[in-house]
């Protein structure tokens, strides 16, 4: 069974390998969707939503929320940021639960999807 938790965070950035408006400093309210998969345990859960929230907050949000992403990434494109987020979350999941997919929205209409494969 799959379980998804949605998060938001605010951050500024500029794209270092881009020519256009996005080469200037600007900000986004990012929307992050994290989907995990696993069997339903004896407690009736794949994973506690609170446990997933705590993991993402500790590993990702505490570092990126209200930050300048260029302090963390040379070129903070949505593609590179989501790959980093994937690596942060993947190692903290409980046994038997796997990371299936993430979506990172820069705007309500623009997002990247990542499943661990480039």
Q: Is 51 a catalytic residue?
A: no
Q: Which of 17, 66, 68, 72 is catalytic?
A: 66
Reply yes or no on whether 106 is catalytic. yes
Calpha distance 28→61 (Å, rounded): 14
Of residues 17, 22, 58, 109, which has the active-site annotation?
22
Dihedral, CA of residue 108, residue 78, residue 82 and residue 46, to nearest 10: 10
Q: From 39, 45, 32, select the one nearest 101 (Cα to Cα).
A: 32
- Is residue 37 annotated as part of the catalytic site, yes or no? no
Q: Indicate which residues carry an active-site annotation.
A: 22, 66, 106
């Amino acid at each position: 069974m799959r379980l998804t938790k949605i998060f938001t965070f605010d951050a500024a950035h500029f794209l270092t390998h881009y020519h256009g408006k996005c080469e200037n400093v600007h900000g986004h309210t990012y929307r992050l969707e994290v989907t995990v998969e696993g069997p339903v345990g004896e407690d009736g859960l794949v994973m506690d939503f609170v446990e997933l929230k705590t993991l993402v907050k500790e590993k990702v949000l505490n570092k990126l929320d209200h930050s300048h992403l260029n302090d963390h990434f040379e070129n903070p494109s949505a593609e590179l940021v989501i790959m980093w987020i994937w690596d942060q979350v993947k190692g903290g999941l409980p046994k038997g639960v796997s990371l299936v997919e993430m979506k990172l929205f820069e705007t309500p209409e623009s997002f990247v999807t990542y499943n661990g494969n480039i």
